[in-house]
Structure 1
Amino acid sequence: MEKHYSRLAIKSSYSDLVINVGKVTLGESNRKKLQKVQREKEKAKVIQAACALLNSGGGVIQLEMANNDENLVEMGLDLEEALRTLILFSNLQAFFKTKQQGKCYYIFVKSWSTDAFPEDISVKPRICSLSSSLYCRSGTSVFLMDSGKAFSFLKTKKTNAKSSGKEPFGEISKVIHPDLHDVDPTYCVLQKDHFEHGEVMPFPESQFIEFKQFATKHIEQYTKDTILEYIPAFANTEGGYLVIGVDDKSRKVRGCAKENVDRDSLKKKIEEAIQKLSCVHFCQCQCQIDFTVKILDVLDKGELYGYACVIGVKRFCGAVFSGVPSSWMVKDKEVCSLTTEEWLSMMMDTDPDLRQLCKDFESQLSLSNSPPQSRPVYSKKGLEHKKDLQQRLFPVTPGCLKYTPESLQKELFLQNEGLEELIHRQIEPFSQGILILSTSWAVDLNLEEKPGVICDALLIAQNSPPILYTVLREQDAEGQSYCTRVAFTLKQKLVNMGGYTENLCITTKVLHLSPESSAESSAGSGSVIDYPSSYHLADTQQMEALLQSLVVVLLGFRSLLSDQLCCEVLNLLTAKQYKIFSKNLRKSKELFIHGLPGSGKTIMAIKIMEKIRNTFHCKTNEILYICENKPLKNFIRDKDICQAVTRKSFMKYDFTHIQHIIIDEAQNFRAEDGDWYRKAKTITQRDTDCPRILWIFLDYFQTSHVECIGLPALSAQYPREELTRVVRNAGQIAGYLQRVLQRVRKNPPRNIPHEPLKMCLEAKWAWDVQGTLNIKKNLTLNAIVMHVADTCKLLFERGYSPKDVAVLVSTARDVEKYRQELVKAMRKKGIVCLTNASDVGGDHMVLDSVRRFSGLERNIVFGIHPTTMKAAILYNILVCLASRANQQLHILWQRDV
């Protein structure tokens, strides 16, 4: 559906969304003097801008005062009432603050969020709307539902569809013409072939009957407009009849003179108008509006005088819209309208139904009280909550203003003479809060780094709005625009991603360290607007709430659950993951990351490649990701953030264009095709003047062979970081993993060093997560495949899908051995969806080897093992297998044949 863009101008030189609506007359007495057309035109601009900002994280409406009052003036009652209607007659101050500065008048708009509504308002829609375009019938009247009533109406329809066992689809379609067969008290009269002119209808208007006269001019357009209001209203309520050609006061038939209308054309226009109505279905049957149109002759003393029209419509199972709902958002700095599909999706947006699939997760950020564009955030039970992460990473100490991270503070002050004094001078007026330093806040927010920036610093302090400082090596004409752009992005993310619901602005200040320039610049254009004091952080509670939103912004990543739930869901990095991720890449060109099974190494690899791209302004094909297996390569390739290859391909071809290399699952590499580590190091050390990245992720516990790996000696793996918190596996699986890890530590294969295996003694597990561990031994091949088939059938009946399941065998040659028998058993159960791990993103079960599934995961894993497996790597293979399972692990041992 085509979008409509507003002519309202977004001011791009601010660190906030600022919409200039042009000239508006302010003051009650001044507005009363305006002609109605002009007054409504001005009001429409203000309301549209307010709606767009409410739905887009908040911002500022800038009005240029059309009147010449030099004194402070009020907004005007009609504007205030319109704004109050927009927020469902809630407290105006909950969402809007106003301020006059000279000839400019500002309306400060807070983001729409349901927690801003009073507790006694039971219906709290997810977004703000000017009009829902949903009509309903009440008695003899038709009402346009406001966004609150529309939300309640749609929610009821959706709930009724679910309770009847029909899942909602929410799909927009067009109605077509069926026949109407309902019989009610009015049926006989309305099924007559003709009316007499002046005849009195024997029944009054009611919930089910509406009388309307024909217009004297523009008959077909008037009829169409009447249909757009009354037919959806009847369909959305209990059904009924619209009778056109009858006076609603006297109930007398008047009709429309035959000279003024063509009978066939009128019927065709009416049917076309109804067929063009947009409908949303909440059931699988995709039923259509059940209506009929009948044109009746109106006779006067036996002669044809004209025509009347009877339109009957049944109650619709879904919702019928009279047009596109009127709701606005800011997208790419354009004010644009929402389509019906977008409006419905946002209006009905709720937290995903976790139930069985995600019962092991807990909510960090719920949609029930978050801004319209927020996404739900979950973490595994037993991991740190965003509040714990905030207190650990960004603590607010009473009566103290502290720097973080301390290591970066010392490094920056040591390497940049005068920087400490410059920053101290800026924060001296503040007594409590935290100054968060970064080599580039742009990179932290997934923007490109700007050359010449020494550092950025975000000040969160009491009795002040947040302040973003950018320190430049020397004066730069683009320094302020950079700082403003970063502050703008941060503000938007804190609200729309981090879920912050209070008043928020971020002021900016650009500082210069160069002795040739002035010590500092004045506040930039992002701070020209003088925000009300309510935008200052009043106390520790407000500071911590904002910092918890910052935790979501900085530590949030797209969860693998998103694909399973078919909606965007975020997870959070652990504190240790974040500390590794936030390293200065120019100071950490080479790094070895040893991580226990399920500690999130692949997620870290993805995140660090995104950071590399923004830090070094790289193209996708200049970052190389290397792993051992094709399925993991394909999984990363589909992220479109790098070039992904297997080790064999890496050794086979030249990669002269590559700037940076990330290696994952390195413990499974082999030296059979040459020294892969030397080649990678050579590529990343070609140009000593240009920092290039080589980060290697590995886990010796998951080494699945006894050949030479090709990694340098442990003493040469420096610098080195360790990830010891296991974030993937349920408690029972974690307990099994813990036992097997100890077996590997005590008796490792000959090709891996002993020292890194002590990591398992420091492991931390999410024991709160409940799962299933099922180990069966001495099974025949037939018993194994029947167990898998029976269990899968039961799981699918409980709501799991094929994409939740992986069946893993010990070696690649075992795959075909089990495939044929497994497919037969599955078909008997009505399950025909089995593929290998190369298509891991598809909606099907995976059957592959443990080695080829390295780096991937599924909720439910079946592991099939022969007792003849090599003893040297038996426990390593079991570690690999168990670490792939999130919720359920079934280990099936085949007896000796």
Structure 2
Amino acid sequence: MSRFKRRKTSMGSSGLSTIDITSNLHRYGDCILHCNVYISRGIHELDNDIVLRYACAIANSGGGILHMQNVDYKRGVCSKDLDTWWSGMEIKLAAMISSDDICNYFDMVGNYDDADLYLFVKTSEHICTINYHSRLPTDTATHDVSYQSVIKLLQKEGPEKPLAALPPVPTDYYYGITHECLKQETKQIQFKQLSGRNSRDGKGIPEKIKSLVSKYVSAFANHEGGHIYFGIDDDHAAVYGEDMSYQDQERTAKLVQLRMDVIIWGSSTFSAQRGVHWDIQFFPVQDVPPRKNPRFVVVVSVCKFPGGVFTATPDSYYVNTRNQEVKCWSFDQWRKAMLNPFRDKPELHGRFVKLPLMVPQAPLVFSLKHTINSIKSKLLTEKSMKLPQPRHFLSFINHQDTRDLICSVVDLFPAGQHLSLFVNCWGLSVPSAPIPKVICDLFVVSESSGCHLITFANSESSSIWTHAQDVAAHLKYKMVALGGCVAKFGIATHIINVKNFTEVKHDLDCKFYPSHFDMTSEKFDEVINSLIVIMAAYQPVDFTTLNSKDMSNILSCDTHFFMLTCDQFELLFRRQFTKELWVHSPPGAGKTVAAVQFVQELKRRGCQSSEILYLAENKLLCSYVGSFNICRVATRLEFLQANKDSYSSVRNVIVDEAQNFKDRDGDWYSAAERLTKPRENSQVQACTDKNLTAINSDLSLLERHGFFWVFMDYSQKVHKFSAGLPSIIGKNNFMMSEITRNSKEIFEYAMHFMNGSPEGQKVPLTDDMAGLRGDVEVSPHLGHDYKSGQSVEILKCDKEHLKEKLFQVLSGIIDSGVSVDDLAVLVGSKQDKPEVTANVKPLSQKIECGLEVDTVKEFSGLDRGTIIGVDPKVNSEHADLNKFILSLATRARDKLVIISTSDDIQQKLATKV
């Protein structure tokens, strides 16, 4: 079979011409905007300032290319025209990015006599704004705010300063005389004389005051408040007054009121009140010469107002990723985007670190300190770089020649590190409709060759090129806007016709971008890190992956994301096409998170909610997962007691906390497994990835078999009777071992009950786990160094004083500020639950909602910040006390209190503290 060959070219940044760019414009994986420019005119003439708006939008939206059609290129322009025009643009661009070095953000390609000019724009590292429409005062004037100043203004909080706190306003004014209190301008006092000046615009005094007042209002309100005196000469501070009738005064007051209503006072919904936030007064000037009309000094007063005062919505733009339309931020959107980098949740800093994502609208993402590096080390192994990932995706491509061709293309990247990922697998999804004859898209990041989107297809057409460009542009947008990549990089698109691959017109060595976009080892790390972020970040509430979000969604709600652990990432990435899988995990390693993430992936592939069943033993856990409304949810008992046709549409089953299941009431395992097997004459087929469907017309294996994933933890198998699970010997097994839920104090305490194994040692394999030997390593370890500072408390009391002791402990915890929503009381058996529930009822006077009281077994799979265990005990004939205590202890994230009435159990518990 012929191999796809590389061809060395001399084409580089030094030889990059506009003709080259134009001919290959369809191959750039970027946001591309188009406009006309007139280089013979000023930067604001004939709509030339569209360049500033579009450049601002691109910089705020992940970077891209501005294609400028040079209307003047045949009209006798010369090099000087381009230099003059572009130097003016550069001054404005520099101001837009807060005077940072524009060479780090903009690369212009083109000459004065080129029909097309191209501006390559890198993402900004904060929101770019052309005009803030906000000012601050000096001792003699006002000036536009800088980025640093506006950030400080937006962050100011607190009540406004009353008008009474301003310097007093004199009431007596004499023509031509400088008032003793008004000898010079300050940061709170400014003078303006309007009458007597020649005005070509024909405006009267009321209109002039209205047009001038805004900038002074903004400046004073943003500082310490102040007064604007109209009618005092700012050269000598002499009083001359303004020539105004009483009708002019009424009109001025109305016009200023209208202007105040337009000014933005910290929020688009706030309305400033006259007499509270601002005021206007008119004082007659005495001793006016007889031949002159009556004169008045007009004083507009403004209070100090926190949060920023703006004369208009700042001029800042973004690109709507859905239709490539340039839009202007609303004020509230812009404000939220400006403050976005400063969002944080300090309470999470113990366990997690805030990722330093320095792009305009980056999400707030928290991760374990080592997660990204750990995932990267798994992705960039020598073995994984030899094949496109995830490697099981290749098995869905029918033709061996096509599979060989894809692998041969990956072989073209031998120098340095590289990573090749199939697009539209878990974590790297792109919302695009299937294109006929497209087999698959492969995204390659190479340390030596940069980024490439390679589309394998059965033909080459304009629609396929459009598809490739859209996919590449979307990937870059995600990597920058959501993954936080601020490096200068581009994605070149390629189409390989598998039916005629020896005649590929463009090879992987062509240079499409300026030299500053070339890949380096530092850029490579940054690009890979951003890929990991968009693949592994999820919301803690609804488990929505970050990859499914866009900027407007991120900004519309004040939310945060967590990164999957390295174990969870490897499970979902490596095993996403494994039809039957047994996932083993110690308590606190995130089984439910991984289970729900996989449900979301099945839905992304086209599954309907009715085709996925989540099974668990516990009603509380089912209720929790059911609240996400992403699939069908049932307990084991509900599943077995349902009508046989109730689950006829189900083709995929996810079993959680399987160690708690029972084999009584029927063979739940066989019944669940049968749902995922092929069925004759069925009209409903197992869900398939939409892109996988486009790969082949015959995906019989994928269509016939659904997914059957079982999550379990044998170390928490408290009961000694059968769970109804078959032997795991010969099954596909995967082990998650990194625990993130518990504080270090609770983790170290709980590990003493995991078959007596302290941290860092392998847990001895039980009979149930024997099948894991040689397949996975069972070694639970803590994924963070977080200590809550609260040691595990083991309390002893008599049975008759248990109620008082429990009440005392609960009262102390609630009085310390612990939220009732983050607190649970767990008992040993159902028989104990009513009594304990009655014991805590008097606390209802202190709290607004009921206190969670449940059994350890029914609470399995859930957690709270604080757990109180009440009188733990088990029937030794039917249950294992060590595993019971392990399950109880690991429900607590930060604080664990266990109250015991048994001397033997109390001694056993206390010796482990």
Q: Could you state the TM-score of these two structures normalised by the residue count of structure 2?
A: 0.78
Displacement of 1:604 in angstroms is 0.9
Shift of 1:504: 1.6
Residues 754 and 231 of structure 1: is their aligned pair in 2 closer, same or farther, counting only changes over 3 Å? closer
Change (3 A) 1:725 1:239: closer
* 8 A contact 1:625–1:644 mirrored in 2: yes
| Change in 2 beyond 3 A, CA 1:396/1:242 | farther
Please state which structure has a larger fraction of its residues in strand: 1
* Residue aligning to 2:265: 279
Q: Distance in 1 between matches of 2:419 and 2:347?
A: 42
CA distance in 1, matches of 2:69, 2:376: 42
Q: Note the C-alpha offset of 1:267.
A: 2.3
Residues 613-628 of structure 1: pairs in structure 2 closer than 5 A: 613-615=603-605, 617-628=606-617
Q: In 2, Cα distance between the equivalents of 1:337 and 1:629?
A: 50
Summarize the Cα distance change of 1:620–1:60 in structure 2 as closer, same or farther, 3 Å threshold.
Answer: farther
Structure 2 contact 873–881 (Cα < 8 Å) conserved: no
Correspondent of 1:372 among 344, 360, 365: 360
Higher mean alpha-carbon deviation, 336-345 vs 763-772, is at 763-772
* Residue 598 of structure 1: how far off its partner (Å): 1.4
Tell me if 1:852 matches 2:861.
Answer: no
Change (3 A) 1:23 1:732: same
Counterpart of 1:485, as a letter, is D
- Taking structure 1 as reference, are residues 708 and 869 closer, same or farther at Cα in structure 2, changes over 3 Å only? closer
C-alpha change, 1:277 and 1:874, in structure 2 (3 Å) is farther
Is 1:328 the counterpart of 2:317 in the alignment? Answer: yes
Match of 2:55 in 1: 50
Displacement of 1:851: 3.1
Flag the 1:883–1:366 CA change in 2: closer, same or farther, 3 A.
Answer: same
Deviations for 1:823-844, whole angstroms, at most 9, x for unmatched residues? 53474xxx414436xxxxxxxx
Provide the C-alpha distance between the structure 2 equivalents of 1:273 and 1:820, rounded to a whole number of angstroms: 63
Q: Is the 8 A contact 1:234 1:313 kept in 2?
A: yes
Contact 1:200–1:253 (CA<8 Å) still a contact in 2?
Answer: no
Q: Is the 8 A contact 1:823 1:832 kept in 2?
A: no
Match of 1:419 among 385, 403, 408: 403
Letter matched to residue 654 of structure 2: I
How far 1:246 moved relative to its partner? 3.7
Distance 1:724 1:443, change over 3 A: closer
CA distance in 2, matches of 1:472, 1:268: 68
Change (3 A) 1:290 1:418: closer
Instruction: Provide the rounded CA distance (Å) in 2 between the counterparts of 1:835 and 1:452.
Output: 59
Is the aligned partner of 1:835 residue 2:857?
A: no
- Report whether the alignment pairs 1:887 with 2:894: yes
Q: Show the counterpart of 2:150.
A: 150
Distance (whole Å) between structure 2 residues aligned to residue 864 and residue 612 of structure 1:
40
Aligned residues: 805
Give 1:729's match in structure 2, choosing from 742, 750, 772.
Answer: 742
Query: Which residue of structure 1 aligns with residue 770 of structure 2?
Result: 755
Alignment partner of 1:590 is 2:608: no
2:826 to 801, 805, 808: 808
The one-letter code matched in structure 1 to 2:795 is K
How high is the sequence identity, in percent, across the aligned residues?
23
In the alignment, structure 1 segments of 5+ residues that lack a partner are: 1-10, 114-125, 167-174, 837-845
Indicate if the aligned counterparts of 1:596 and 1:760 stay in contact, CA closer than 8 A.
no
Q: Measured at CA, do residues 106 and 724 of structure 1 come closer, stay the same or move farther in structure 2, by a change above 3 Å?
A: same
**C-alpha separation in 2, matches of 1:682 and 1:140:** 83
SS at match of 2:706: coil
Give 1:481 shift. Answer: 3.6
Q: Which residue of 2 aligns with 1:169?
A: none
Distance 1:820 1:225, change over 3 A: farther
Distance 1:345 1:509, change over 3 A: same
**Correspondence for 2:230:** 244
1:181 aligns with 2:161: no
Residues 509 and 71 of structure 1, relative CA distance in 2, 3 Å threshold: farther
> Alpha-carbon deviation of 1:272?
4.6
Q: How does 1:102-113 map to 2 (within 5 A)?
A: 102-113=114-125
Task: Summarize the Cα distance change of 1:331–1:705 in structure 2 as closer, same or farther, 3 Å threshold.
Answer: farther
Counterpart contact for 2:371–2:565, Cα < 8 Å? no
Q: 1:576 aligns with which of 557, 564, 567?
A: 567
- 1:547 is matched with which residue? 528
Shift of 1:490: 1.7
Partner of 1:62: 67
Is 2:411 the partner of 1:387? no
Query: CA offset at residue 606 of structure 1?
Result: 1.8
- Contact residue 727 and residue 765 of structure 1 kept, 8 A: yes
Change (3 A) 1:892 1:455: farther
Equivalence for 2:141: 141
Matched, 1:228 2:228: no
Q: Which AA in structure 2 matches 1:791?
A: I
> Of the candidates 331, 334, 341, which is equivalent to residue 340 of structure 1?
331
Using the alignment, how far apart are the partners of 1:316 and 1:753 within structure 2?
Answer: 68
1:60 CA drift (Å): 1.2
* Inter-partner Cα distance in structure 2 for 1:744 and 1:676: 33
1:90-489 pair list within 5 angstroms: 90-100=100-110, 102-113=114-125, 126-155=126-155, 157=156, 180-182=163-165, 184=167, 187=169, 189=170, 191-192=171-172, 201-202=179-180, 203-207=182-186, 208-212=188-192, 213=194, 217=203, 219-249=205-235, 251-258=238-245, 261-280=247-266, 290-297=277-284, 305=294, 307-332=296-321, 333-350=324-341, 353-363=344-354, 365-367=355-357, 370-380=358-368, 384-395=370-381, 402-403=386-387, 405=389, 408=392, 416-417=400-401, 419-421=403-405, 423-424=407-408, 427-428=411-412, 431-438=415-422, 440-441=424-425, 444-445=428-429, 447=431, 450=434, 454-472=439-457, 478-489=463-474
1:532 aligns with 2:514: yes
Once the two structures are superposed, residues 128-182 of structure 1 have per-residue CA deviations (whole angstroms, 9 ceiling, x without a partner) of 2122232211112111202222124445x35xx6xxxx9xxxxxxxx9xx98434
Deviations 1:404-443 (A, max 9, x none): 5595498589962253346435753763332424374586
Alignment counterpart, residue 658 of structure 2, candidates 643, 649, 666: 666
Higher mean alpha-carbon deviation, 314-323 vs 291-300, is at 291-300
Three-state SS of the structure 1 residue aligned to 2:752 is helix
Comparing 751-760 and 477-486, the one that deviates more: 751-760
**Structure 1 residues 37 and 428, CA gap change in structure 2 (3 angstroms):** closer
Distance 1:232 1:434 in 2: 53
Q: Which amino acid aligns with 1:243?
A: Y
Aligned to 1:490: 475
Matched, 1:777 2:788: no
- Which amino acid in 1 is paired with 2:456? V
Q: Which runs of 5+ in 2 are unaligned?
A: 1-23, 545-556, 681-699, 907-913
Cα drift, residue 592 of structure 1: 1.8
**Aligned match of 1:5:** none
What's the C-alpha RMSD, in Å, of the aligned pairs?
4.1
- Distance change in 2, residues 1:460/1:289 (3 Å): farther
Over 3 Å counting, the alpha-carbon distance change for 1:428 and 1:594 in structure 2 is closer
Deviation readout 1:526-557 (Å, 9 max, x if unpaired): 9999311221213x333223222222222232
Deviation (angstroms), 1:53: 1.8
Alpha carbons 2:714, 2:769 under 8 Å: kept: no
Q: In structure 2, give the amino acid aligned to 1:489.
A: H
CA distance in 2, matches of 1:462, 1:140: 55
Structure 1 residue aligned with 2:618: 629
Quote the Cα distance in structure 2 between the aligned partners of 1:598 and 1:346: 35
* Distance change >3 Å, CA 37–CA 557, structure 1 → 2: closer
Indicate how the Cα distance of structure 1 residues 437 and 87 shifts in structure 2: closer, same or farther if over 3 A, else same. closer
Residue 859 to residue 467, structure 1, CA distance change in 2 (3 Å): same
What TM-score does the superposition give when structure 1 sets the normalisation length? Answer: 0.80
